[in-house]
Amino acid sequence: MNKEPEQPAAQNPEKFSGLKLGEPYKVAAGVHAVVVAGEHVFGQMPISRGMKALFKLNQKLGYDCPSCAWPDPDDDRSSIAEYCENGAKAVADEAMTKSIKPPFFAENTVADLAKLDDYHISKSGRIAQPMYLPEGATHYQPISWDDAFKTIASHLNGLQNPNEAIFYTSGRTSNEAAYIYQLFTKEYGTNNLPDCSNMCHESTSFALAKNLGIGKGSVKLQDFYEAEVIVILGQNPGTNHPRMLTALQKGRANGAKIVSVNPLHETGLLGFSNPQKFQGVMGINTRLTDIFLQVKVNGDLALIKAIELLLLEEEEKKPGTVFDHDFITEHTSGYLEFISQIKKYELEYLAEVCGISIDQIREVADLLAKKSKIIVCWAMGITQHKNAVDTIYELVNLLLLKGSIGKPGAGTCPTRGHSNVQGDRTVGIFDKPHEALLDQIKKVYGFEPPREHGLDVVNSIKAMYEGKAKVFFGMGGNFLSATPDTNYTAEALRNCDLTVHVSTKLNRSHLVHGKEALILPCLGRTDLDIHDGITQFVSCENSMGVVQMSKGVLKPVSDHLLSEPVIVCRLAKATFGNRSVIDWDKFEKNYDYIRDDIEKVVNGFEQYNQKVRVKGGFYLPNGTRERKWDTLNSKANFNVTELVVEPLAEDELLMMSVRSHDQFNTTIYGMDDRYRGIFNERRVIFMNPADIIKGGFEIGEVIDIYNNSDGRERVAKGFIIVSYDIPRQCVATYYPETNVLVPISSVADKSNQPASKSVVVKLRKSRLFNQPVTA
Ligand SMILES: Nc1nc2c(c(=O)[nH]1)N[C@H]1C(S)=C(S)[C@@H](COP(=O)(O)OP(=O)(O)OC[C@H]3O[C@@H](n4cnc5c(=O)[nH]c(N)nc54)[C@H](O)[C@@H]3O)O[C@H]1N2
Ligand SMILES: Nc1nc2c(c(=O)[nH]1)N[C@H]1C(S)=C(S)[C@@H](COP(=O)(O)OP(=O)(O)OC[C@H]3O[C@@H](n4cnc5c(=O)[nH]c(N)nc54)[C@H](O)[C@@H]3O)O[C@H]1N2
Ligand code: SF4
Ligand SMILES: [Mo]
């Protein structure tokens, strides 16, 4: 068996920062959250800058929160505080005044920087100027923008085939930048456009496009206020979509029942103290969840099937009282096949697989039987499993039985991650572009875009690993740390002739690089972007399909930063010379021209420039809301799914990787996860107390986590055991520290999304530590 090469540093530092344990919180947010937000913002910039930044955050005509994609209220926005603790942390992290200039790179070798942990890498500051790492060099050195673009152009023009280049996008990129970026790659000749969505909601986009005709959710915020039941699966909104709690609170006050499905009793699902309301300030809390189902990791498909089986039983007893037959007959296809297949399952078996008692499942089925305004919300706890697409099919089956799509108070709510991840896909960041988009590009610009599908994230990594792709260009993000199989991906990046990152902050992907490497520092969401005296703005689409303008307000930390759209234009001009049919100068001068072109090419952007200037923006069309199904048969489709259970061996555990309350993906804001009672340490593993005893371990002991897959041993060294309320044989760790354990071959069927929440692992005593290290 092959032994793994040493890991790309810092994933396994040999010392701990000093874990302190507290009780998990019962209530999220509250005044404490406001205090923490203030500490983050004012700790990293002067008061005046911080006030300015917070004052314009999520305000109509202000800038869009760079953190998650949860929507802003259409109407009643607070004029002082339309954001949450984690939005403020994201702003603090981006708008910090500390910056890293050439002397920082001259003093530190790349190898030394790679030894820092992610928290310290991010805290080093905003990158102030373009930097270049020549082949064989040990230090990044300054480079002019012109020379940087010439270097990239010469590599791109030297490739034998455009498909040897990879163009990654992370979901913070604006519509304007994303549109011209994908246009550039198409004129260059490739659809190799992997994006963070491939690791995020790809399973959702695949499933929903197939059964409902559009890969996006159907609900609007207003639906939360009209719903009778809101089911939340595989999502931790208190940390990752904090203002969703406000919507849940309002929905519940209007009579909705909330059902939460999660292996962990996440604080934000249990209770909420709204710091923007008098009651919250006074410490008055609202309970959020009515029924909590502590499902086993990846038990959701079995659970939904069990609920459907009980609903069917009730419907058969009292025909016409549970299912919406008018809806089913008029709008759906595949009902009879679905019914005959679901009957094959035994309730007892399904209950055993999901780990929920039949009584509790019955409680939920009884609730759903009587209601028809049902919203189903989900996130990474559903999408990052091998059978994720099937689970989402099944969630939609449930909604179709109840006629709960395309009417007020009901529908699908896949909660998106990055603030513009949905918009990037809308404007063409997709390795499998729709023919309609390609036809329109051909019509508007007159060149033939490539029709062959490109590479997604997993296939891009494989192509670089195998030497089939040689140039990697990252528009934002942290490809090395966000992707699975860290060592394999590191090898893939090191194989490239050139790796380029357009970034605001330093990250590990700059430090594990190709033969040559470039860092191109860009403006962030909060930064003012002025060309020829005109302040430019960009726009983003949130999780509910609203497109809004985002206009930065802060003076950039350096005069050497360029905006993402300008970077794309200069890249295109350097690469094509006078070969291009596109007027890149025009785009660069004023982003209105980019929006004019988006309007011509992408459906739903009529009068883009006018509508985006209206306070609050505009909704993109979404057929599911009007019960218009853009599927092959023009129907909403039931999908028959199979429950395939892969049993674990006695010594195996199923690991999910989750976010702490102090991080945004690979950016680590702090070392605490206070809602879960974890302080000052990230390298912990949450375990059921009975599994700790069964494995012969102790609480506080340091272990190594490992697995064997496709002939390799993968190891994440040095994790402290924490006893936690989590189902048997399930464990949780923080992402990205354990990405090293996710085999590149472990993906969701059909969507090819890394299955980073069903990682089969084993534990063994650490060779580095033999003392319990809990404080
Ligand atoms: N502050 C902050 N906000 C963020 C982010 C961030 O890192 N920090 N990231 C952004 C991004 S890109 C995204 S995609 C979203 C992610 O938002 P989430 O999806 O909420 O993020 P995770 O931490 O991955 O949490 C997944 C949740 O699913 C549960 N879970 C895991 N496995 C299963 C399972 O098999 N079944 C069920 N039912 N539950 C399961 C976990 O216990 C956890 O509560 O957040 C966005 N917002
Ligand atoms: N094991 C495991 N792996 C996961 C996940 C998981 O739950 N578990 N989640 C997956 C998910 S849902 C996602 S979305 C991906 C995230 O994957 P990515 O989007 O690639 O990662 P981020 O950590 O969000 O990227 C952070 C970097 O973006 C840069 N940046 C920040 N703002 C800007 C900007 O405005 N412009 C530019 N150009 N750069 C900017 C900064 O340099 C920062 O270091 O990770 C995935 N990986
Ligand atoms: S809920 Fe999301 S978008 Fe809204 S302020 Fe918080 S982090 Fe930002
Ligand atoms: Mo995400």
Domain locations along the chain: 95-168+449-613, 202-414, 653-765
Its pTM stands at 0.96
pLDDT given at position 14: 58
Give the residue among 244, 269, 260 at the shortest CA–CA distance from 364.
260
Radius of gyration of the chain from its Cα atoms, rounded to whole angstroms:
25
Cβ-based neighbours of 460, under 8 Å, separated by 6 or more: 166, 168, 192, 194, 469, 472
Q: Whose CA is nearest to atom 37 of ligand 2?
A: 476
Q: Whose CA is nearest to atom 23 of ligand 2?
A: 666
- Report the separation in Å between the CA atom of 70 and the middle of ligand 3, taken as the mean of its atom positions: 6
Three-state secondary structure call for residue 123: helix
Give the residue among 554, 549, 558 at the shortest CA–CA distance from 595.
549
Q: Whose CA is nearest to atom 7 of ligand 3?
A: 87
Provide residues with CB under 6 Å of ligand 1: 67-68, 86, 200, 233-236, 239-240, 261-264, 266, 295, 297-298, 300, 379-381, 417-418, 656, 658-659, 663-665, 757
Q: Which of 659, 726, 737 to mutate to test the pocket of ligand 1 (most atoms within 8 A of CB)?
A: 659
Structural element, H or E, at residue 361: helix 358-370
How far is Cα 282 from Cα 449, in angstroms, rounded to an integer?
A: 59
Q: What is residue 25's DSSP assignment?
A: P
Answer whether 384's CB lies under 8 Å from 757's CB. Answer: yes
Phi and psi torsions of 688, nearest 5°: -70, 135
Structural element, H or E, at residue 664: strand 663-664
Kindly tell me if the per-residue pLDDT of 604 is higher than 70: yes
- Report the separation in Å between the CA atom of 66 and the middle of ligand 4, taken as the mean of its atom positions: 13
Kindly tell me if the per-residue pLDDT of 6 is higher than 60: no
- Report the separation in Å between the CA atom of 418 and the middle of ligand 3, taken as the mean of its atom positions: 10
Q: Whose CA is nearest to atom 36 of ligand 2?
A: 476
Structural element, H or E, at residue 704: strand 702-709
Q: Which of 175, 666, 734 to mutate to test the pocket of ligand 2 (most atoms within 8 A of CB)?
A: 666
Give the residue among 505, 535, 501 at the shortest CA–CA distance from 520.
501
- Count, residues in the chain: 775
Kindly tell me if the per-residue pLDDT of 32 is higher than 90: no
How far is Cα 405 from Cα 436, in angstroms, rounded to an integer?
A: 26
Q: Whose CA is nearest to atom 10 of ligand 1?
A: 417
Q: Which of 60, 67, 82 to mutate to test the pocket of ligand 3 (most atoms within 8 A of CB)?
A: 67
Query: Which sign, positive or negative, has the C-alpha torsion 765, 769, 771, 772?
Result: negative
> What distance lies between CA 533 and its chain's CA centroid?
35
For 441-493, give the DSSP string.
HHHHH-S----S----HHHHHHHHHTTS--EEEEESS-HHHHSSSHHHHHHHH
Kindly tell me if the per-residue pLDDT of 364 is higher than 60: yes
**CA 279, 281, 282: angle at the middle one, nearest 5?**
65
Name which CATH class applies to 95-168+449-613: alpha beta
Does domain 653-765 sit in CATH 2.60.120.10?
no
Confidence tier at 5 by pLDDT (50, 70, 90):
very low
- 514 compared with 12, residue with greater pLDDT: 514
Provide residues with CB under 6 Å of ligand 2: 170-172, 196, 199-200, 380, 384, 417-418, 475-479, 482, 502-505, 507, 522, 524-525, 564, 657, 665-667, 735-736, 739, 742, 756
- Report the separation in Å between the CA atom of 421 and the middle of ligand 4, taken as the mean of its atom positions: 8
Distance between terminal CA atoms of the chain?
A: 38
Q: Whose CA is nearest to atom 1 of ligand 3?
A: 243
Instruction: Please identify, by atom number, the ligand 2 atom nearest to the C-alpha of residue 170.
Output: 19
Cβ-based neighbours of 724, under 8 Å, separated by 6 or more: 264, 676, 686, 687, 688, 732
Name which CATH class applies to 202-414: alpha beta
How far is Cα 373 from Cα 476, in angstroms, rounded to an integer?
A: 39
Q: What is residue 430's DSSP assignment?
A: -
> What distance lies between CA 291 and its chain's CA centroid?
26
Is 544 a pocket residue for ligand 3 (Cβ < 6 Å)?
no
Kindly tell me if the per-residue pLDDT of 196 is higher than 90: yes
- Report the separation in Å between the CA atom of 67 and the middle of ligand 1, taken as the mean of its atom positions: 13
| Greatest Cα-to-Cα distance within the chain, rounded to the nearest angstrom | 76
- Report the separation in Å between the CA atom of 181 and the middle of ligand 1, taken as the mean of its atom positions: 28
CA distances from 175 to 18, 148, 430, 748, 772 (A): 42, 24, 13, 28, 50
Which amino acid belongs to residue 773?
V
- Locate tokens 């919300």: which residue? 377
Beta bridge partners of 375: 230, 411
Task: Report pLDDT digits (tens) over 126-160.
Answer: 999 999 999 999 999 999 999 999 999 999 999 99
Task: Report pLDDT digits (tens) over 627-676.
Answer: 999 999 999 999 999 999 999 999 999 999 999 999 999 999 999 999 99
pLDDT given at position 641: 97
- Report the separation in Å between the CA atom of 415 and the middle of ligand 4, taken as the mean of its atom positions: 9
Q: Whose CA is nearest to atom 5 of ligand 3?
A: 83
Beta bridge partners of 292: 260
Task: Report pLDDT digits (tens) over 580-591.
Answer: 999 999 999 999
pLDDT given at position 775: 39
Mean pLDDT score of the chain? 94
Token digits for 726? Answer: 């989590």
Give the residue among 208, 204, 254 at the shortest CA–CA distance from 229.
254
Kindly tell me if the per-residue pLDDT of 283 is higher than 80: no
Token digits for 705? Answer: 């986590």
Cβ atoms within 10 A of the Cβ of 392, count? 33
Span 747-752, mean pLDDT? 98
Which amino acid belongs to residue 168?
Y
Task: Report pLDDT digits (tens) over 299-312.
Answer: 999 999 999 999 99
